Chains A and B, each alone.
Chain A
Amino acid sequence: MSAVDTSTPSAVLPKAVPLTPGRVSWQREALALVVGFALLALLPLVITDSYSRHVLIMIFIYGVVASNWDLSLGYGGVFNFGHLALFGIGVYAYSLLTKLAEMNPWIALVVSGLIAVVAAVAVTVPILRLKGIYIILVTFGFAQLVMQVILSQSDYTGGTQGIVRIPTVTWFDHNMVRDAKFAYFYIALAMLGASTVFLRALVRSRTGISIVALRDNEEYAVSRGISLARQRLITLAASAFFTGIAGAFYAAYQRNASIEVFGMSLATIILSMVLLGGTSTIYGAIIASFVLTVFSESMADFGAWRPIITALLIIVVMLVYPSGIMGMLKSASRWMTRSRNG
């Protein structure tokens, strides 16, 4: 990122950001995105059984959560351990809005995203001045706080029992239940698509570059007029919106909400998606959510050994491939071009 000129305040500059050498132009990236998502959209034609479609839907949900986490963690360099709490807030916001306030589910999806944004802003305020390990500890504390509040307000949230029979989204008079998850697949895919376009547009924008500048050289960036507090707030708020929506969709899809979304095991899995995918790519997290979920599902027969093998895999990849799956792909493609040229 060092080649990018951040020396002038963004307000007076034209929108176009000078390209860093080796960076893909946005036209090519947009084309690749459209092709990629078009291919994904064709999948239900090939994959017709509802179990496989369910796995894909879960991949899309995890992909949204993981890639948004990559925004705050990879790009922002802020280790928000409460990211999964934003997802959980989406789950519970949707559940309560549709069940108690009887809000239209589609509107509730979006409102849940906004509530997650508000929560993200609330957790960012105490960490504005903090660094490193203290950010981890405070955001972790925040996640615990949210969980404790949900647990204690059992009259509304069902406490440890959770919430069941949550209203789901509807599409005119299409039957959501008996279409082998056809409609859910496309809703999930649309959500992933919107989230990915949003994230990539953000990180390619001037705002995105200033966020990275802060991460890489805080003192320099601040001396150049970038506000640490403002950018950190933007980063976390932006990473919350689709995370909250993903939570809401998860609730609508599963039709129940449980406190387990705040648990360590889900956080571990999603975090490994971010790190295995390689941070600061967005795409890496999505690819890793695909790889990890399929891997995990393919071991369904192993029963109790499944989490053990998953954990081992995570450790081994972290030890031997620090830059994650994207790093692996990059070095593989570099190797291929080299062997083609040479």
Chain B
Amino acid sequence: MGGTADILFGGLFQGSLYAMMAVGLALVWTTIGVFNFSHGVFMMLGAYFAWQLVTWGLPPFLAFPLSVLAMAGMGWVLQASVVRPLIGRSNLVLVVVITTLAAGSLIENGALEVWGPRSKQIPPLVSGNVMLGSIGVSLHQIAIILVTPLALGALWLFLNRTRLGLALRAVAQNEDASRLVGLNVTMLYGLSFGIAAALAALAGIFLGGYRFMSPVMGVDPLLKALIVVVFGGISSISGPIYAAYLIGFFEAIASYYFGLYWTPALLFAALILTLMVKPEGLFTPNRSRGLA
């Protein structure tokens, strides 16, 4: 039964990372109506920041949350500098693609200046390995599989059970009406970016715990997250989460039966097929944020 365990574990693990990244993209899209192409950078910065704090002697249980918080702040700042001034432009989506891409390149190269190209690693959440059936897995990876639903669940509770979360959902649906009930739309935009960045940072800390970090470590996960939102639709938070796990399992199954060599090609074949049938994504509810 090694195959089943492999697939199950691999799917859950990859799905967790994809979900953490994709949900941030979707959150920003639904609230502000822009696509953040510097999202991967928060992942990288989160990992590096945590590494720096640990190197300075902070214990991981302090360093990790601090880094996540710092990235939330970064997200806010980025939003205020390269997104908010552009709101109201007719070609907002396009211009934000370019400003966030440029900001991403700026931060990436800045990180290269500060931390250098040498690979680094941060301590795992939990060290050690266990045997799971016939395969050996690290406790760190198991921790990721368990922490991810907790983080996403916390986000769900925040959005659905708090007044601030309610405000965030309201802004995503109707900006003018939100102003007319007295919501601080500017603050909510910053908040949505901040939460997205914090989740990406958490994913970065996860990734940095079992793989070597580099200033470009956020690029691939961002690309994957983009594919996840193509699959899952982007106008809801839950769609991308389902899609993330679906793709995680798809990859695990494909690579088990067809090998790593063919997995990307198969994934894209599935993607094209999905889009032919349901261009707005698999899990899109019957509404969408208006965009030409």
Contact = CB atoms under 8 A, between A and B. Distances in A.
Contacts of B94: 73, 79, 275
Interface residues of B, number: 43
A71 to B, nearest CB: 15
A81 B106 CA distance: 21
A319 B86 contact: yes
B101 A264 contact: yes
B212 to A, nearest CB: 17
B271 to A, nearest CB: 5
Interface stretch (A123-131, A248-256, A325-333): A123-131
A304 B102 contact: no
Contact of B102 (A73, A133, A134, A272): A272
Interface in A97-152: 126, 129-134, 136-138, 140-141, 144-145, 148-149, 151-152
B264 interface: yes
B106 to A, nearest CB: 4
Nearest to A268: B101
B223 A126 contact: no
Contact of A315 (B99, B226, B292): B99
Given A133-B35, A137-B229, A314-B99, A148 B265 contact: yes
A152 B262 contact: yes
A129 B110 contact: no
B89 interface: yes
B279 A133 contact: no
B155 interface: no
B99 A138 contact: no
A90 to B, nearest CB: 21
B275 interface: yes
A144 B272 contact: no
B128 to A, nearest CB: 34
B227 A144 contact: yes
B47 interface: no
A307 interface: yes
Nearest to B94: A79
B219 to A, nearest CB: 6
A311 B98 contact: no
A264 B226 CA distance: 13
Given A132-B291, A137-B230, A318 B265 contact: no
Contacts of A152: 261-262, 264-265
Nearest to A149: B265
Interface residues of A, number: 41
A311 B78 CA distance: 14
Contacts of B219: 264
Contacts of A160: none
A330 B203 CA distance: 46
A268 B112 CA distance: 18
Contact of A318 (B98, B227, B291): B98
B109 A304 contact: yes
B265 A132 contact: no
Given A129-B279, A138-B230, A145-B268, A315 B103 contact: yes
B82 interface: yes
Interface string B203-237: 00000000000000001000100110110001000
A182 B279 CA distance: 49
A336 interface: no
Contacts of A311: 102-103, 105-106, 109
A10 to B, nearest CB: 25
A48 interface: no
A275 B91 CA distance: 11
Interface string A266-285: 01100110010001000000
A20 interface: no
B66 interface: no
Given A264-B101, A314-B98, A322-B95, A131 B275 contact: no
B2 interface: no
A149 B81 CA distance: 38
Contact of A307 (B29, B109, B271): B109
Contacts of A30: none
B120 to A, nearest CB: 18
B97 interface: yes
Contacts of B57: none
A133 B261 contact: no
Contacts of B272: 126, 141, 145
A265 interface: yes
A308 interface: yes
A141 B276 CA distance: 13
Contacts of A144: 223, 227, 264, 268
A194 interface: no
A33 B246 CA distance: 54
Contacts of A130: 275, 279
B85 interface: yes
Given A138-B230, A322-B89, A304 B112 contact: yes
A322 B88 CA distance: 12
A222 interface: no
Contact of B106 (A148, A149, A312): A312
A30 B292 CA distance: 35
Contacts of A148: 264-265, 268
8 contacts: A132-B93, A136-B35, A141-B271, A149-B265, A264-B219, A310-B105, A314-B98, A315-B102
10 closest A-B pairs by CB: A148-B264, A132-B291, A311-B106, A145-B268, A311-B102, A314-B102, A137-B230, A307-B109, A268-B101, A311-B105
Given A126-B272, A319-B99, 19 more contacts: A79-B94, A131-B291, A131-B292, A132-B292, A133-B29, A133-B234, A136-B93, A152-B262, A264-B101, A264-B105, A264-B219, A272-B102, A279-B91, A308-B105, A311-B106, A314-B102, A318-B95, A322-B89, A322-B95
